[in-house]
Amino acid sequence: MTDETTGDNARLTAFLDDAYRAEERMSSGDLQRRAIAEDLPAALLTRIDALPEGEYLQDEADEALRTL
């Protein structure tokens, strides 16, 4: 695992922790809008944009984003 990948994963975890602070489930569209508002790096935006449509629990979103 490269330092860049490790940094991206840490940033992704922090993003998801913040996004799900007051929400149990979020749609892929909600996650995309939040990612844009938080000005995430292009590599992470691309992964979030690739999420299939639907609603996700935090652990489901985390798993799906790590496999993309």
Is residue 41 one of the residues assigned to a domain?
A: yes
Q: 51 with 68: CB under 8 angstroms?
A: yes
The per-residue pLDDT string of the chain (68 residues; one tens digit each, 9 = 90 and over) reads 566 678 899 999 999 999 999 999 999 999 999 999 999 999 999 999 999 999 999 999 999 999 98
| Other residues' Cβ atoms within 10 Å of the Cβ of residue 28 | 18
**Per the structure, how many domains does the chain have?**
1
Is 21 a domain residue? no
H-type alpha helices, 1-68: 3-19, 28-37, 42-49, 58-67
Is the pTM for the entire model greater than 0.75?
yes
Range of the domain at 49: 27-68
> For the packed helices 3-19 and 42-49, what is the interaxial angle rounded to 10 degrees?
60
The answer to whether residue 9 is domain-embedded is no
Predicted pLDDT of residue 5: 72
Does residue 59 lie within any of the structural domains? yes
